[in-house]
A and B are shown apart, each in its own frame.
Chain A
């Protein structure tokens, strides 16, 4: 019990939850820390740390999981073109969108779409926010970070080879 971050006051947590709810409601929007901090009524300097302490992920990564969930749901449940889905779920670049979906699902957006088409119809009786919460990918590290590390690995191997 002592490891529970009991130092965060319920009043603060409730205000941080408001920011999290706003991300959930509109993950396609831009959510710079300053804007989220304003929703929570805390300083931008404290927001990211407090959010991570409360919810276990930094706000930008939480936003990313929401965008990925949105995109995956639109790929699964609609006939919208991939470009439109990327735009509607908050990506400005189709290339980044494609790479992120591949990093998370192992497939390109259109491959993912073909694989999961119509798969979630059994969840029709579950409230949508619950479905969305269950389908956010569990990102233990930022996707970009994962890619960077993978990239570093490759570079390191190359360097080692060169040295050898």
Chain B
């Protein structure tokens, strides 16, 4: 077995909406999708990164009380969560592909320090940078 970070979670407003976005628009695959009452453990995986899962978690019961859940949803919707970075081999091509799939870009690709980067958000407000691997 390999050791290391296996799952990192994001908070999303709506897991169904997030699932559609990450799978249909970004090309991720569902890794685990299990429910227990109101709770749903949902993780997706980048097709080229089998050892890592991105968790798509919704704030709410039974994990959070209503006020905490509201605060978490607000923080995500304001774009105040930490930055996320995805590596791509060709930033401009990836942008075009994703834009055609309906992804909303917040920053057009720009050349910067010998690489190219762009920015987009998921429907909940989590901000991603798309950076061309050097």
**Which A residues are closer than 8 A to B by beta carbons?**
1, 4-6, 8, 10-11, 13-14, 16-18, 20-21, 24-25, 54-55, 124, 127-130
Contacts and interface: CB of A to CB of B under 8 A. Distances in A.
Interface of B: 13, 67, 70-71, 73-74, 76-79, 83, 85, 104, 106-108, 110, 112-113, 117, 119, 121, 123-125, 127, 129, 131
19 contacts: A6-B67, A8-B74, A11-B77, A13-B74, A13-B77, A14-B123, A17-B77, A17-B79, A18-B104, A21-B121, A24-B106, A25-B106, A25-B108, A55-B78, A127-B83, A127-B131, A128-B107, A128-B110, A129-B127
Instruction: Give the interface SS of chain A, mostly helix, strand, loop or mixed.
Output: helix
- The DSSP consensus for interface residues of chain B is mixed
Contacts, number: 67
Contacts of B107: 24-25, 128-129
Specify which of A5, A6, A21, A25 lies most central, judged by the most chain B CB atoms within 10 Å of its CB: A21
Contacts of A17: 77-79, 121, 125
B77 A128 contact: no
Contacts of B113: 124
Contacts of A25: 106-108
A5 B74 CA distance: 9
